[in-house]
Amino acid sequence: MNRLFRFIMICMAAISLVSCDEDEPAPAFEAERTVVVYMMAENSLSSYVQSDINEMRAVSTEVPDNMNFVIYLDSRNKPAIYTLTAKKGLTTWKEFSEDVISTDSLVMQHTLTQIVTAFPAKAYDLVLWSHGSGWIPQSRSIGVDNGENTSSNAGMQMNITTLRGVLEHLPHWEMIMFDACLMQSIEVAYELKDVTDYMVGCPSETNAYGAPYDMIMKHMLKGDAGQVARTYYESYEHGSGAIISAIDCRQLDQLAEVMQTLVPKIWGGRKEISTEGIQYYSPFGPSSSYRPEPYDIEGVMYHTLEAQDFALWKEAWDKVNVYCGATDEWASVYGPGIHNHLIDRDHYSGMSMFVPNEKYVPYQWMDKFREFRWYKAARWDETGW
């Protein structure tokens, strides 16, 4: 889409008014697909909500009659659920009478259950919009809700193991997209592999403006994870930069089987590896000591394994990988460094992994790592870590 035309469309959408019919009747038919955007924005990202909503509204005519596009929004006002249709544009379907904590597991489960019940479909996609920090518990794993309708980031967050528990009680999601930082990690993906077929996200920080919804919505409505990731990347290719990937979660068990032979070989006896020259996506230091560096999984395997073992691993990984795109650099609140510059274009995956190290022990990250399904699936429990 021409950038000037895109800007005009978004501005026109911003001018139009949203109707306020509370609890408008939901469709009586089973749609081909229901896309749910769950926006946990009662935090410092609240000022970026409207631009994303406007992008969605700008292309509301792309929503077919046999599709549902539903937005749950909790920002600096009481939460509301909206629907987006070609005929009516953005319409308020439900207004909440009081504020809720959107990162609370019971609230999320109740809200999503209400939506999928009211908007039944043959297939479902989910977008989780908020802050994120990957698998690390108690550190914005996904979402922040301060409960005060302010821009503060001091609030309740949701761990990935809790998220899995919520989604297990809902219909299977064909695609889950994280519009949040650092969520594309093997630990997150393996934890969610049984609740979704595809996962789209960034292993790094994401731009505060997030996904270009006016460009990716048509692909979301088709459940095309690869095109969602590709179009996301292309929208930032000549701007502030991005790295994003799409993976097939149905192939992760086969990858885990390969890792079972490699992990004990590399890390057995509580060994540490040299990470020099390996791509990582967030720094470790005084300003970000709440999480370890997330290293690129292909970079780790390439720089650590012998050629024969790497070829075995790569064969399994290529079945997982649907699409990965990266610019030479991307924006970071931590300033320039390896974490936001692509240092090995031939060996990156857009998927991060945790690499154990003694320096992480004081933060209890090893204890938390052991709680994840990936820990046993890849036989980390045989390494001493």
pLDDT, tens only, 47-72: 999 999 999 999 999 999 999 999 99
Query: Which residues are CB-contacts of 63 (< 8 A; sequence separation ≥ 6)?
Result: 69, 84, 85, 86, 217, 221
Residues 256 and 355 in one domain: yes
Residues 124 and 267 in one domain: no
% of the chain exceeding 90 in pLDDT: 83
pTM: 0.92
Look at residues 233, 250, 267 and tell me which one is the last residue of a structural domain: 250
Question: CA-to-CA distance for 375 and 368, rounded, in angstroms?
Answer: 10
Look at residues 250, 273, 298 and tell me which one is the last residue of a structural domain: 250
Residues 131 and 257 in one domain: no
Q: pLDDT at position 20, please? A: 38
Residues 325 and 234 in one domain: no
Q: pLDDT at position 21, please? A: 40
Residues 165 and 259 in one domain: no
Residues 230 and 260 in one domain: no
> 252-267 and 307-320 helices cross at what angle (nearest 10)?
150
Residues 35 and 175 in one domain: yes
Q: What are the pLDDT digits (tens) for 10-21?
A: 444 443 333 334
Task: For residue 128, give the CATH number of its domain.
Answer: 3.40.50.11970
CA geometry: angle 215, 344, 211, nearest 5 deg = 15
Range of the domain at 305: 252-382
Look at residues 224, 250, 276 and tell me which one is the last residue of a structural domain: 250
Residues 244 and 108 in one domain: yes
Task: Report the range of poorest mean pLDDT among 120-129, 278-287, 354-363, 375-384.
Answer: 278-287
Residues 79 and 162 in one domain: yes
Residues 333 and 370 in one domain: yes
The residue type of 358 is E
72, containing H or E segment: strand 67-74
Residues 186 and 162 in one domain: yes
Q: What are the pLDDT digits (tens) for 195-216?
A: 999 999 999 999 888 999 999 9
Nearest 10 degrees: Cα torsion 356, 351, 280, 47: -120
DSSP state of 148: S
Given a contact cutoff of 8 angstroms between Cβ atoms, the answer to whether 166 and 54 are in contact is no
Residues across the chain: 385
Given a contact cutoff of 8 angstroms between Cβ atoms, the answer to whether 250 and 346 are in contact is no
Question: CA-to-CA distance for 374 and 255, rounded, in angstroms?
Answer: 11
Going by C-alpha positions, the residue among 187, 160, 349 that lies closest to residue 252 is: 187
List alpha helices for the chain, DSSP H: 3-15, 49-58, 105-118, 160-167, 186-191, 213-220, 225-236, 252-267, 297-304, 307-320, 365-369, 373-377
Residues 168 and 267 in one domain: no
Cβ neighbours, 10 Å, residue 163: 22
Number of domains in the chain: 2
Is the pLDDT confidence value at 1 over 60? Answer: no
Question: CA-to-CA distance for 262 and 143, rounded, in angstroms?
Answer: 34
